[in-house]
Amino acid sequence: MRILGITVPNEKRLEVGLTVLYGIGVPRARKILDQVGIGRGKQAKDLTADEENKIRMVIEKIPIEGNLKREIAGNIKRLKDIKSYRGIRHMKRLPVRGQRTKTNSRTVRGNVRKTMASGKRKESKT
């Protein structure tokens, strides 16, 4: 089964298989399947053409993939343009949601570990 040019895996349960689409996680996949009336455990290869079309119709109404990425990028750009606190954190590539930065945030800042000296100074020979 293909949705918006992306192949949904045939061997996985639909509630997990639909998560290959950016913007659809397990909870949203479950809502979609419940809305269409298809069992969550059913696999993509077992779907009829009618069921596939129902799933496609529901998913096309949701912003996913490129549209969602553009929307998120636009939101971040707006925050940067108005120079809000969150926008400035995005510009500096620091954590945005209030996390501490003294010890954590390795992913955002890069895995740079600066170690301190051991505390003992070598005595100079004079």
- How much is the pLDDT for 104? 81
Same domain? 43 vs 87: no
- Highest-pLDDT range among 6-15, 80-89, 101-110: 80-89
Same domain? 28 vs 12: yes
- How much is the pLDDT for 20? 92
pTM for this prediction: 0.70
Same domain? 35 vs 55: yes
Inform me whether the pLDDT recorded for 123 exceeds 90. Answer: no
Residue 44: CATH number of its domain: 1.10.8.50
Q: Which letter, b or e, does each residue of 12-23 get, where b requires 16 or more Cβ atoms within 10 Å of its Cβ?
A: ebbbebbbebeb
Same domain? 6 vs 42: yes
- How much is the pLDDT for 41? 87
Residues 6+ positions from 54 with CB-CB distance below 8 Å: 36, 37, 38
pLDDT > 90: percent of the chain: 39
Same domain? 57 vs 8: yes
- For the segment 50-104, what is each residue's pLDDT rounded down to a tens digit? 988 999 999 989 898 889 999 999 999 999 999 999 999 999 988 889 888 888 8
Residue 76: CATH number of its domain: 4.10.910.10
Please report which confidence band the pLDDT of residue 46 belongs to, taking 50, 70 and 90 as the band edges.
confident
Task: Report the domain count for the chain.
Answer: 2
Same domain? 39 vs 75: no
Alpha-carbon separation of residue 82 from 43, 56, 75, 90, 92 (angstroms): 46, 38, 11, 12, 15
- How much is the pLDDT for 47? 86
CB-based contact 41:2 (threshold 8 Å): no
Domain that residue 23 falls in? 2-62
